[in-house]
Structure 1
Amino acid sequence: MSLRLLFSLLLAGPALAADFDLLITHAQIADGSGGALAAGSIAVKGGRIVAVGQVEGSAAEVIDAGGKVAAPGFIDAHTHSEDICLIPVAENFLRMGVTTIITGNCGHSRTDVGKFFEEIEESKVALNVATLIGHGSVREQGMGGSFIRAPNAEQLATMTGLVDQAMKDGAVGLSTGLIYVPGSFAKTDELIALAKVAAAHDGIYVSHMRYETARIFEALDEIVRIATEAKVRAEVSHIKLSGPTAWGKAGEVLAVLDKARAKGLKITHDQYTYTASSTGLRQTLPDAALEGEHADFVARISDPEKKAAIIARMAEMRTRQGRKDYSYAVIARCKADPSLNGKSIPEAAKIRRGNDALNDQIEVILEIEAQGGASAIFHGMNEEDLQIFMKHPLTMIASDGGPRRLGEDVPHPRSYGNNARVLGRYVRELKMFTLPEAVRRMTSLPAQKFHLKDRGMIKPGAHADIVIFDPGKVADPSTFSDPHHYAEGFTEVIVNGGVVIRDSKLTEVRSGGPLRMNR
């Protein structure tokens, strides 16, 4: 190096540091409030948004949004992602703009929340993960294999202790799955006792209610009672009306909830954007058939008298739902026989038994459960009810999905396309509500409801969870028959200031982690 060059460098001094870590320019900003889009820039430093609007300064990285929409990262308030550490990138969520997921729904969760969060940190997840503590999991741990009864004082103390510790470890609330064993056997007083524990920590009570059929009004009465007596914020999970006998009552359901809210109760609800649900195929069986261990079920169907009682109860369930057979159910994942994946129950019966008659459908359901069970998609709702629920301003959008591997099984398309479907079908095509309002339902509304501090808004001080998308190109190509397609139209996804998707390509950045309530 020459003396002249060295002297010049000394005079220049050290290079000036950039003002920001990241600067997003030329964006149409949907800030999460539901207000009109505003042209401007977003500056990020230290994982937080530090300036919004007309921003001046240099940045280590610049993203030119090119007139696309920049919104807060979407918050999926209802997922089943207990296996997130096995699929830590969760690209199916990222690709539809989701930067935060809430797991532990429908009464099923990890009961050691502290340990779960440690594993999340170790696995280097790409998005934020919050969890509820699941009542069913707590009940199973607290009561062993005997469920058709109330817990004794010692067992209830064990259960309350588990909920209390989970809340201390950062759970956002308590969830119930009251159509699933063992939660289905719980009485309301038990739920109130545990909801009070969550409420003492400022947690929420989130319920897959006892009925989503024509008996839904009984279930609504129960959640209103729990919210009242436990003095707890409440959430109706995946609000729906299942089965033809329940269809057409969406307005009445919302009227009940609005009446409760008018009395001061803080009750909201979430919804996915499809007319089919997905859960275990065992939901076609009566609860009493599933009590105890798996061996108990096998023993029951091996006993002709007990098996006949189970089949008779299945007939009652079909009648109540207005069903003639099981053609509405399609197998999503059968570990014992993957050849059945994607097949309806009549089709599975034809494959397994050579006949698709009702008796053969019943037999194949019993066989599958005896061999370890299966998950299934249930086509049980109608579009008119779905749209009535969706139009309500307190309906937040949630997938009820989980992390997916491309090409594995035949899962519900909601895990790939739920948020994109809102923006593409219900905003752009049907014009049911505005784009900013749709963004509010997916961002600030769940952030406020679940007390996720400094999330769900684009404003100075908020965590830099941001998604950039083209509203004219957002699409959900995933279908029931061909689900493994990522959502389209989302070009950038930023989690805690880290760009995890850039120019529609996944990066190596893994800036997510556990998300604790109010922290």
Structure 2
Amino acid sequence: MRSSSQEDAPMTELLTGAHLADGTGTPLRPADVLIDDTRITAVAPPGTLTGHPRRDLPGLVLAPGFIDAHSHADNAPLLTEHDTTKILQGVTTEVVGNCGFSLAPHTPARADDHRHHLGRLFPPLPVTWQTFAELLHTTDTAGHVTNHCPLVGHGTLRVAATGMSAAAPSARRMQALLDEAMSAGAFGLSSGLIYPPALFATTDELTALAEVLGGTGLYVTHMRDEGDHLLDAVDEALRIGRVAGRTHLSHLKATHPRNWGTVPDALDRLHLARADGHDVRQDVYPYTASSTTLASVLPTTYLSGGDDHTLARLSARNAHAELTAALGGSTHFNRILIATTPSHRHEGRTLAEIAEAQSTDPVQALIDVLVTEELRVAMIHFSMHEDDLEAALRDPHTTIGSDGLPPGNGGRPHPRMTGTFPRVLARYTRDRAVLDLPEAVRRMTSLTADTFRIPDRGIIAPGHVADLVAFDPATVRDVGDYQDPMRPPTGVTWVCLAGRTVVEDGRFLGRRAGQRLTPKI
């Protein structure tokens, strides 16, 4: 092993002994790969490249560094501790700014609204920026453990324009803010249409923003509905995305038992759109439980007007009766697990279990948890079916995203934060054979790079950046579970970023070697 000072210096290294999964989906083959400084300079049959320092990787698969299509680690550079949840999975690049939540832009007049909006998802942040360019300068200066590809969030744009109100914002104001973010280096526009205030947006509001992307840009969406009205939500996403140019559906799923089996219908809609010339992709995470804010289960009327309004509604005398009528018959409280709260109370227990312990009913438990934790509660919701997940995984246009929530909140977050990519390789490739290994790697590398137009990554070929991972196909697997989610995976042996080793023998070496990337023109 090289010393730290040697690892930071430019290097030439020959990677030998591995089977190559080059990111294209072609069958594995033995090959040697030559790295010179930050780039791959040759890929050749074993033994044909000589005279270079060697790194032997016997019995391992060498692949492009995995690309997380859906991350919420926007704040990772701002943390004192390194966020290793992705790099230890072999992820070298993350697409951040998803679900309409980006850390910028904001306006001084809406600073409190901006703080409350981000506080639903992120730990407390010292916001020292206003524009998207200023945010990028701040995070670039702090340094990245992985490469970041930032999206700009519609929800954040809307808060900057009109706060947490349900009122229609100025289209011109939001367009100007989006244009600045795109000029600063955003990869596209994201939306999260179940979260306030974005849930109040009309299709026309989103279409007006999509126009800024000029017919060649990317619209990435957590759709308006993933349950009873899934197909209507797909149609809306496609309408907006056609104006933007390209569409990407975040974490495609069908929630609630009565909707299980509808993912193939959604995929049919997407196939028809592609046949009509529309560039549309989707991502999934390899779990049948989702994770989001607990407040998202509340009726829309509770979510307008900001946190103070929501807390006042929850504290009103008639709140219990009102919510029981709205939620009691359709919400499975035994499937809602509290993941993270500021006080760390209730973590790892379902609302049904909390209610039993407090000798109350689950609706009152929901109210109590939200009020005492001031709405800053993340949940895990066991709401999907394995058949739908596997149907989405089989579709050749499906990329892989962790949807890992922001680091720094503590608690018991969804194990997808630490295990997504090894789980695809273990459960859905090695064990269940939903994908073969070369195809699984393609979904996690070149397909994602192509979808987000990430330059020079996702394929092992001469000229590409040497973002690489070596893993043991027989032992790679996720280890964390819903009660102990932060355990790192096994079988991911070696990771390098731009030719610099960052993970050796499954251990992070402590260097922030990533960078913020810019989209390919």
The answer to whether TM tops 0.5 is yes
Q: Report the CA distance between 1:356 and its aligned residue.
A: 4.4
Q: Report the CA distance between 1:104 and its aligned residue.
A: 0.4
Q: Distance in 2 between matches of 1:275 and 1:312?
A: 27
Deviation string 1:253-289 (CA, Å, 9 cap, x unpaired) is 1111111111111111000000000010001101221
| Corresponding position of 2:102 | 109
One-letter amino acid of the counterpart of residue 103, structure 2: R
Q: Distance in 1 between matches of 2:257 and 2:160?
A: 36
Q: The residue matched to 1:424 in structure 2 has which SS? A: helix
Gaps of 5+ in 1: 1-17
Q: The residue matched to 1:277 in structure 2 has which SS? A: strand
| Corresponding position of 2:190 | 175
Deviation string 1:398-444 (CA, Å, 9 cap, x unpaired) is 10004646x93111000111000010111111111210000000000
Q: The residue matched to 1:91 in structure 2 has which SS? A: coil
1:487 to 486, 489, 493: 489
Percent identity (aligned): 37
Q: Is the 8 A contact 1:281 1:365 kept in 2?
A: no
Map 1:8-407 → 2, pairs under 5 A: 21-54=12-45, 55-59=48-52, 62-87=54-79, 89-111=82-104, 112-147=131-166, 149-151=167-169, 155-199=170-214, 202-228=216-242, 230-304=243-317, 308-315=321-328, 318-319=329-330, 323=331, 325-335=332-342, 337-351=343-357, 354-368=358-372, 371-402=374-405, 404=407
Q: Distance in 2 between matches of 1:19 and 1:194?
A: 43
Q: The residue matched to 1:338 in structure 2 has which SS? A: coil
Q: Report the CA distance between 1:57 and its aligned residue.
A: 4.1
Q: Is the 8 A contact 2:88 2:507 kept in 1?
A: no
| Corresponding position of 1:7 | none
Deviation string 1:124-153 (CA, Å, 9 cap, x unpaired) is 222101110000010011112322x322xx
Q: The residue matched to 2:19 in structure 1 has which SS? A: strand
Q: Cα–Cα, structure 1 residues 22 and 120, in superposed 2: closer, same or farther, change >3 Å? A: farther
Greater Rg by CA: 1
One-letter amino acid of the counterpart of residue 136, structure 1: G
Deviation string 1:75-125 (CA, Å, 9 cap, x unpaired) is 001011121113463211011110000110000002233223222222222
Q: Is the 8 A contact 1:349 1:356 kept in 2?
A: yes
Q: Distance in 2 between matches of 1:434 and 1:199?
A: 37
Q: Distance in 2 between matches of 1:499 and 1:19?
A: 11
One-letter amino acid of the counterpart of residue 163, structure 2: G
Q: Is the 8 A contact 1:348 1:364 kept in 2?
A: no
Q: Is the 8 A contact 1:269 1:396 kept in 2?
A: yes
Q: Distance in 2 between matches of 1:166 and 1:515?
A: 14
Q: Distance in 2 between matches of 1:305 and 1:194?
A: 39
Q: The residue matched to 1:245 in structure 2 has which SS? A: helix
1:458 to 432, 456, 460: 460
Q: Report the CA distance between 1:467 and its aligned residue.
A: 0.3
| Corresponding position of 1:13 | none
One-letter amino acid of the counterpart of residue 186, structure 1: A
Q: The residue matched to 1:367 in structure 2 has which SS? A: helix
Q: Distance in 1 between matches of 2:180 and 2:464?
A: 28
| Corresponding position of 1:8 | none
One-letter amino acid of the counterpart of residue 143, structure 1: T
Q: Distance in 1 between matches of 2:367 and 2:451?
A: 44
Q: Report the CA distance between 1:308 and its aligned residue.
A: 4.6
Q: CA RMSD in A?
A: 2.1
One-letter amino acid of the counterpart of residue 393, structure 1: P
Q: Report the CA distance between 1:305 and its aligned residue.
A: 5.0
Q: Is the 8 A contact 1:400 1:415 kept in 2?
A: yes
Q: Distance in 2 between matches of 1:208 and 1:378?
A: 16
Q: The residue matched to 1:437 in structure 2 has which SS? A: helix
Number of corresponding residues: 484
- Decide which moves more: 137-146 or 118-127: 118-127
Q: Distance in 2 between matches of 1:362 and 1:503?
A: 44
Q: Report the CA distance between 1:22 and its aligned residue.
A: 2.2
Q: Cα–Cα, structure 1 residues 431 and 302, in superposed 2: closer, same or farther, change >3 Å? A: closer
Q: The residue matched to 2:75 in structure 1 has which SS? A: coil
Q: Report the CA distance between 1:481 and its aligned residue.
A: 1.4
One-letter amino acid of the counterpart of residue 168, structure 2: A
Q: Distance in 1 between matches of 2:34 and 2:315?
A: 66
| Corresponding position of 2:111 | none
Q: Distance in 1 between matches of 2:352 and 2:520?
A: 49
Q: Distance in 2 between matches of 1:386 and 1:47?
A: 37
Q: Report the CA distance between 1:295 and its aligned residue.
A: 1.7
Q: Distance in 2 between matches of 1:436 and 1:49?
A: 20
| Corresponding position of 1:416 | 418
Q: Distance in 2 between matches of 1:81 and 1:215?
A: 29
Q: Report the CA distance between 1:359 and its aligned residue.
A: 4.3
Q: The residue matched to 2:74 in structure 1 has which SS? A: coil
TM-score computed with the length of structure 2 as normaliser: 0.89
Q: Cα–Cα, structure 1 residues 368 and 248, in superposed 2: closer, same or farther, change >3 Å? A: farther
Q: Cα–Cα, structure 1 residues 278 and 436, in superposed 2: closer, same or farther, change >3 Å? A: same
Q: Is the 8 A contact 1:91 1:403 kept in 2?
A: no
Q: Distance in 1 between matches of 2:31 and 2:154?
A: 45
